[in-house]
Amino acid sequence: MSMRYIIIGGDAAGMSAASRIKRNDKHAEVIVYERDAHISYAACGMPYWLGGVVGSDKDLQILTPKIAKEKRGIDVRTHHEVVAIEAAQRHVTVHDLKKGELEDVSFDHLIIATGASAIRPHIPGALAEGVFTLRTLVEGQKIFKFMEENGPRRAAIIGAGYIGLEMAEALRGKNMDVHMVEMAPHIMPNYSPDMVEEVTTHLQENGVNIYLESKLKAIKEQKNGLKLEMEGATTGLIVDMVILATGVKPNSEMAKEAGLKMGKSGAIWTNKRLKTNVDRIWAAGDCAELEHRVLGEGVWIPLAPSANKTGRIAGDNASGGHTIFPGILGTNVVKVFNYTMASTGITEEMVEESEKFPHVTSVVITENDRAGYYPGAEPVKIKLVFDKREKKILGAQMVGKSGVAKRIDVLATAISAGMTADDLAMLDLAYAPPYAPVYDPVNVAGSVAGKVK
Amino acid sequence: MSMRYIIIGGDAAGMSAASRIKRNDKHAEVIVYERDAHISYAACGMPYWLGGVVGSDKDLQILTPKIAKEKRGIDVRTHHEVVAIEAAQRHVTVHDLKKGELEDVSFDHLIIATGASAIRPHIPGALAEGVFTLRTLVEGQKIFKFMEENGPRRAAIIGAGYIGLEMAEALRGKNMDVHMVEMAPHIMPNYSPDMVEEVTTHLQENGVNIYLESKLKAIKEQKNGLKLEMEGATTGLIVDMVILATGVKPNSEMAKEAGLKMGKSGAIWTNKRLKTNVDRIWAAGDCAELEHRVLGEGVWIPLAPSANKTGRIAGDNASGGHTIFPGILGTNVVKVFNYTMASTGITEEMVEESEKFPHVTSVVITENDRAGYYPGAEPVKIKLVFDKREKKILGAQMVGKSGVAKRIDVLATAISAGMTADDLAMLDLAYAPPYAPVYDPVNVAGSVAGKVK
């Protein structure tokens, strides 16, 4: 008898799991239930499509149900929502959204890959026409259609995280007036305040109006547009379109109702093999809590690379493999017009109140990305976070116009290996005038950190 | 009584050592003897200056004797050649090249930083007018002057290593006809044959004529130019100018004559603190043999980053510090028109006959440098060299039009940390569509290597 694997969710984690299971066991019955119309799409590419940099949303679709079936033998059922999990009985209740029918389906192994959803704040007007979130391709398509049909000229973006910044650039690329509203005292709240200054100025120079420490209270539909009422502000902004980029939440309610253990982040608890607390039930991707390599505890940082990796590993382990996920660092990079911001590991702010990290400190250095005399040299600013006594590297943030994206990976690798500041200073990194100074900025950061008493 | 430190050679290693000594001990007497006119210049920048990318040779001069004296208290004596070392008596014989006088000077510590020299092949015509080597700034200035005065239109470059390739691009940038002659069966002989194909074609597309497996026998001065006679070839090339880029040799003869231990490479043997076999005598930079982190033995790979680092460490240890140099990987990167080539660690060819590495194998992968749908995506080809059993990463080569230079550093870091293929596959690397695919090429290389049986 072949085993039946049920996978809830057909995006990065779910389809990675499904593909891996079929590779391990070609006789396995693998059913993927996806409540939306699409599977396996590059969600992170949507701002570039909406901004006209990428030609079509078709470019973002990596896999179709038809190809998944024909090439990989995976039974993908779109417009099917799993509405309940019976963990002990090993079956799920599936709602066929087109037919409106419910069905109970049993499984040998279940992989929960339900992802995360955009948070829509509970304020008046949050559901008004012209107010959008951007997480799924369906949501992206709604924005695209609205822009095509209405030609909005003024947009507000609520939230200055990754999506907010990428959408600001996208909408400026469409020549719209862009207003960015952020509750926190600075953009990119996950970064340290001293690492976002240049980019804040750069956004403003590129025509993005930024409102910090500003909380949206309500959106009012008026004849002349959508009026944003903000706490404290006496007058409101009027725009044609609002993007709510105020964060995401894990889609973990159903797992919780099924009695699965939740992490303290509210995402589904998993062990290093991506198993939940119940045998034969696995979780992967943006619905799962994963271990942070520096913090040594479960965190919820939903990003595409770990969704892909954990999906693959959950699938492998469910189908007889034994693969350990070493954890995440939350490594990220974002393009903001001509600037690049990137970070990995922890910030000082993240562990300010933690007793586990009493000796965390940081240094900030600025060095050219290539030989200073070589045309186009641009400064790279690095904040290196480390333990004052052991000099172990715990995190890094980087900002600059060039040479940032893959340099952060050198630091992510160094942190994964448990390297110290001195180790960094002595790394034998590639040098040629067009690409790096003879002491790479990474070496310099290590060298400066090494001298901190 | 203050200590007297004598440093032979005023370039990267020597000046790094001098500066570090003065930081450790501000009362130290630090004398740097430099036989040439210049100290501390960016030799690697010369092809860009000769090609017109960098405006002036002044841009390449990092430090002058005057500034070294005034800002750092270092006594730099240019046009002074140390001609002998009396190791036991602790003194050196210095030749003042301008006055023609010899002087004996005693030292408490000696740092040998004599660098390396271009090899001028022993063939007829090697010293003819219009035939150049390119290692020192003085040599670069001779080429510059010749080009200014004679306006050569046709050049031959003998040797297709870093300098040869960079000079090919430089001279094509000056609209010269460029002919490149290489003895080995492929360009960049330190790379594996399968990693140089695209770049070979790219050079040809950019108007560089390449002659492989071709050995120069003689250069003949004729009325119509310099005639290159090559082994086997019936007709000779005629050019206006020849660059001999056939390699370098360590300037270690004087140290050898002084009885210091040589490494098997012919460069000066050093320990992990950069001490020679004689107390109080240290060696650093391109004249020194250094430990290779993968091979675990002394090698001679003269590159600027390790010259700077070892100079600093030799100076530190000579003046009371205790710093260990962890060794080199030979990490390098070179720009060849629109391509970048980079490598780190070992190649299979390097250990073909070594009993220490019986299980070395490799995989080659090609992945986009960014999301495939993002404009400008370019393939990156990675050759990953690893131990078949332990899966430990031992080396990597990379080639592509974009996203190569700092990605090699991720691999250099991974090798330094002793990471395995699986570790690479699981690294949490930065992803955003403009900068990387969701599985970075480095992850993919690790993943593919991990599956090799």
Q: What is the DSSP string of B14-66?
A: HHHHHHHHHHH-TT-EEEEEESSS--SB-GGGHHHHHTTSS--GGGGB---HH
- Convert the pLDDT of each residue in B226-262 to its tens digit: 999 998 766 789 999 999 999 999 999 999 999 999 9
In angstroms, rounded to a whole number, what is the distance separating the alpha carbons of residues A405 and A369?
11
pLDDT the model gives residue B453: 87
User: Which pLDDT belongs to residue A423?
Assistant: 98
Give the pLDDT band of residue A262 (cuts 50, 70, 90).
very high
- Residues B177, B82 share a domain: no
Residue type, B51: G
Q: Which two tokens stand for residue A181?
A: 């509203």
Chain A residue whose CA is closest to B331? A430
A281/A268 Cα distance (integer angstroms): 11
Q: Does any CB of chain A come closer than 8 Å to the CB of residue B334?
A: yes
The predicted structure's pLDDT at residue B234: 62
Task: Note whether B31 and B132 are within 8 A (CB).
Answer: no
Q: Which pLDDT score, from 0 to 100, does residue A235 have?
A: 73
Q: Are residues A262 and A365 in the same domain?
A: no
- The secondary structure of B139-199 as a DSSP string is HHHHHHHHHHHH---EEEEE--SHHHHHHHHHHHHTT-EEEEE-SSSSSSTTS-GGGSHHH
Residue A1: band (very low, low, confident or very high) from pLDDT cuts 50, 70, 90: confident
Residue pair B272/B101 in contact (Cβ under 8 Å)? The answer is no
Q: B152 and B35 in one domain?
A: no
Looking at this protein, which amino acid is placed at residue B64?
Answer: T
Residue-wise DSSP of B400-445: ESSS-TTHHHHHHHHHHTT-BHHHHHT------TTT--SS-HHHHH
In a domain, A301, yes or no: yes
Question: In chain B, which residue's Cα lies nearest the Cα of A47?
Answer: B433
CB-based contact A374 B406, cutoff 8 Å = no
DSSP three-state, residue B290:
strand
> How would residue A153 be classed by pLDDT, with cut points 50, 70 and 90?
very high
Inter-chain residue contact A430 with B333, CB threshold 8 Å: yes
Same domain assignment for residues B366 and B269: no
Q: Which of A309, A413, A432 sits opposite B44 (nearest CB)?
A: A432
CA distance A148 to chain B (A): 22
- Cβ pairs bridging A and B (under 8 Å): 219
Instruction: Give the confidence band of A234 by pLDDT, cuts at 50, 70, 90.
Output: low
Give the DSSP letter string of B362-385: EEEEEEESS-TTSTT--EEEEEEE
In a domain, B328, yes or no: no
Region for residue A320 given its phi and psi (left: phi exceeds 0; alpha: psi -120 to 50; beta: otherwise): left
B103 and B186 both lie in a single domain = no
Question: Using CB atoms and an 8 Å cut-off, which of residues 419-448 of chain A contact chain B?
Answer: 419, 423, 426-436, 438-440, 442-443
- Contact between A419 and B426 using a beta-carbon 8 Å cutoff: no
- Domain of residue B269 covers 4-40+59-116+249-318
Chain A residues 109-168 with CB within 8 Å of chain B:
none
Is 70 exceeded by the pLDDT of residue A233?
A: no
Question: Does the ipTM surpass 0.90?
Answer: yes
A70 in Cβ contact with A76 (< 8 Å): no
Residues B124 and B177 in one domain: yes
Q: What's residue A114's pLDDT?
A: 98
Q: Is residue A91 part of a domain?
A: yes
Per-residue pLDDT of chain B (453 residues; tens, 9 = 90+): 799 999 999 999 999 999 999 999 999 999 999 999 999 999 999 999 999 999 999 999 989 999 999 999 999 999 999 999 999 999 999 999 999 999 999 999 999 999 999 999 999 999 999 999 999 999 999 999 999 999 999 999 999 999 999 999 999 999 999 999 999 999 999 999 999 999 999 999 999 999 999 999 999 999 999 999 998 766 789 999 999 999 999 999 999 999 999 999 999 999 999 999 999 999 999 999 999 999 999 999 999 999 999 999 999 999 999 999 999 999 999 999 999 999 999 999 999 988 899 999 999 999 999 999 999 999 999 999 999 999 999 999 999 999 999 999 999 999 999 999 999 999 999 999 999 999 999 999 999 999 998
Say if residues A401 and A378 touch (Cβ distance below 8 Å): yes
How many independent structural domains does chain A possess? 3
**Structure confidence at residue A373 (pLDDT):** 96
* Ordered strands of the A208-211 beta sheet: A131-133, A241-244, A154-158, A177-181, A208-211
- Strands B241-244 and B154-158, how do they pair? parallel
Task: Give me chain A's average pLDDT, please.
Answer: 96
Domain edge (last residue) among B246, B280, B303? B246
Q: Do B409 and A430 touch (CB under 8 A)?
A: yes
Whether residues A125 and A242 share a domain: the answer is yes
The distance of Cα A75 from the centroid of its chain, to the nearest Å, equals 27
Residue B45 domain-assigned? no
CA–centroid distance for B121 within its chain: 19
Q: Flag whether A303 is in a domain.
A: yes
Taking an 8 Å cut-off on Cβ atoms, the answer to whether B374 and A406 are in contact is no
pLDDT in tens, A354-374: 889 999 999 999 999 999 999
Are A310 and A345 in contact, with CB atoms under 8 Å apart?
no
CA distance B194 to chain A (A): 21
- In this model, does residue A394 exceed pLDDT 90? yes
Q: Do A375 and B407 touch (CB under 8 A)?
A: no
Query: Does A62 touch chain B if contact means CB atoms closer than 8 Å?
Result: no
Q: Quick one: tokens of A25?
A: 């066991």
A408-421, pLDDT tens digit by residue? Answer: 999 999 999 999 99
The last residue of a domain, from among A226, A246, A266: A246
Structural domain contains residue B223: yes
Alpha carbon of A413: minimum distance to chain B alpha carbons (Å): 6
Same domain membership, residue A289 and residue A209? no
CA pair distance A378, A375, nearest whole angstrom: 9
Q: Which residue's entry shows tokens 């570090």? A: B20
For residue B373, what are its two tokens?
A: 């749908």
* A303: closest chain B residue by CA: B431
The residues in A 276-295 lying below 8 A from B, measured between CB atoms, are 293
A334, A410, A419 member nearest B432 (Cβ): A334
Question: Domain with A73 in it: what CATH number?
Answer: 3.50.50.60
- B50 in contact with A at a CB cutoff of 8 Å? no
- Determine how many CB atoms are found less than 10 A away from the CB of residue A124: 12
Domain membership flag for residue A328: no
What pLDDT, on the 0 to 100 scale, is given for residue A232? Answer: 72
Same domain, yes or no: A141 and A242: yes
Query: What secondary structure, in 3-state letters, does chain A show?
Result: CCCEEEEECCCHHHHHHHHHHHHHCCCCEEEEEECCCCCCECHHHHHHHHCCCCCCHHHHECCCHHHHHHHHCCEEEECEEEEEEECCCCEEEEEECCCCEEEEEECCEEEECCCEEECCCCCCCCCCCCEEECCCHHHHHHHHHHHHHHCCCEEEEECCCHHHHHHHHHHHHCCCEEEEECCCCCCCCCCCHHHCHHHHHHHHHCCEEEECCCCEEEEEEECCEEEEEECCCCCCEEECEEEECCCEEECCHHHHHCCCCECCCCCECCCCCCECCCCCEEECHHHECEEECCCCCEECCCCHHHHHHHHHHHHHHHCCCCCCCCCECCCEEEEECCEEEEEEECCCHHHCCCCCCCCEEEEEEEEECCCCCCCCCCEEEEEEEEECCCCEEEEEEEEECCCCCCHHHHHHHHHHCCCEHHHHHCCCCCCCCCCCCCCCHHHHHHHHHHCCC
Last residue in a domain, options B221, B246, B271: B246
Nearest Cα neighbor of A315 from A5, A17, A107, A19 is A17
B287 close to B117: Cβ distance less than 8 angstroms = no
- Nearest to B355, CA basis, from B414, B296, B300: B296
First to last CA, chain A: 65
| Phi, psi torsion values for B351, nearest 5 degrees | -115, 15
Residues B102 and B124 in one domain: no
Cβ separation B303–A431 shorter than 8 A: yes
Chain A residue closest in CA terms to B329: A428
- Same structural domain, A189 and A260: no
Chain A residue numbers touching B438 (CB-CB < 8 A):
12, 42, 44, 304-305, 308
Residues, chain A: 453
Contact call for residues A276 and A270 (beta carbons, < 8 A) = yes
* Residue A453 pLDDT level (bands cut at 50, 70, 90): confident
Contact residues, chain A, for B419 at CB < 8 Å: 413, 416-417
Do A306 and A221 fall within a single domain?
A: no
- Report if residue B349 sits inside a domain: yes
- Are the beta carbons of A247 and A119 closer than 8 angstroms? yes
